[in-house]
Amino acid sequence: MRKLTVLSVLLLTTSVFAQKFEGLALTPPMGWNSWNKFSCDVNEQLIRETADAMVATGMKEAGYQYINIDDCWHGKRDEQGFIQPDPERFPSGMKALSDYIHAKGLKLGIYSDAGWKTCGGRPGSRGYEYQDAMKYAEWGVDYLKYDWCFTDDLNAKGAYLTMRDALYAAGRPIVFSLCEWGSNKPWDWGKDIGHLWRTTGDITACFDCVVDHGSWKSWGVLQILDQQKGLRIHAGPDHWNDPDMMEVGNGMSVNEDRAHFTMWCILAAPLIAGNDLRNMSPETIAILTDPEAIAVNQDALGIQGYRAWAKDDLEVWFKPLSNDEWAVCFLNRSKEEKTVKFEWDDNEQSDSFSKRELDFEKTTCTIRDLWQKKDIGKTDKDFKATLPSHDVILLKLTPVK
């Protein structure tokens, strides 16, 4: 009788009992990813220095924990088909790098692709899902971003289900990020497969633009935001809509960076930084580590915010929070300064998804401006403010008991 290999045993024992690892992302994941800033130019020195910077800049203390290596870390497969890291870029190996990151109280994320090749042309996981999952577990990986290049006619749900089962069989709890770009509506089927799923194509470091690459497009912050319409009913603890990694610190203005970060907080989106953590301005650090904005994102209810009102490039967004509180965001999409006058009594909120209501004629709330760090009155008076171009005002409303 032929001996069963470890891989064979895994395949046999997974069967109908496979599932995703529950409870790994009860609030939106917070971390960093190499792609937006460094593309394929990754190596172990960069990753170690980024882990150091995540601690030194206060990002770890603010809640960030994942150091995610995106595409191009891959070397070749060995004679048994197991993937190896690029020996020139990662000479110490992934286990040593994982140990370094874990010793700092952080977690390691890695990248692969459901197709034959990654988007950067490295070996994909198609046909090697269980072997790759075994390697990730052996290395101590905590997070997998799984892309969708070179997938030919693969069924998206089936491909991601296969990797989910492989991760479960390998036995190490790993956050599973479905980077399928929203092409096959992963919000309809991703809840039982992954912890987050991309809802759009790639973001770019521009507040309001579309970059046409010919066969595909990358999107500015506002374009990404608009593509979230109708998706909030699919998100919640352990299953998040992912509007892509952040571009804060990658060349937009401070106003635009603040607006970008705030809207991701309102969306209950994963907060995955995409800049060079080793070289950040004080303004970038202040935005990425702001405790009150992050608290809106990380609220335990896990309710994604919604656009309640829009006129002349001015939008008002509401997000239900724990303890009967609400976050309210005023977003100026235009290139001109806007004067805000918001009459609370005329804007009763009734959110059927969260089953939350807010009638300002019956309930008075105190108002805190989260970016200005000050209490500014109550909702018994109209809210008035001046809002610069491409900027936001973020408020927290607390009912007066």
Where in the sequence numbering do the catalytic residues fall?
Answer: 147, 202
One-letter amino acid at 397 equals L
Report the run of H or E that residue 284 belongs to, with start and end: helix 282-288
Q: Per the structure block, which two tokens stand in for 230?
A: 């109708």
What three-state secondary structure class fits 279? coil
Neighbours of 367 (CB within 10 A): 18
One-letter amino acid at 186 equals P
User: Comparing C-alpha atoms, which of 73, 146, 69, 133 is closest to residue 101?
Assistant: 69
Non-local (6+) Cβ contacts of 325 within 8 A are 396, 397, 398, 399
One-letter amino acid at 160 equals Y
Q: How far, CA to CA in Å, does 43 sit from each of 47, 99, 259?
A: 7, 16, 31
187 and 199 in contact (C-beta within 8 Å)? yes
Q: Per the structure block, which two tokens stand in for 70?
A: 């995106």
φ, ψ for residue 301 (rounded to 5)? Answer: -65, -35
Q: What whole-number distance in Å separates Cα of residue 140 and Cα of residue 188?
A: 30
Q: Are strands 66-68 and 30-33 parallel, antiparallel or unpaired?
A: parallel
User: Comparing C-alpha atoms, which of 171, 172, 167 is closest to residue 194?
Assistant: 167
Q: Per the structure block, which two tokens stand in for 245?
A: 């990694």
Q: Are strands 356-358 and 349-351 parallel, antiparallel or unpaired?
A: antiparallel
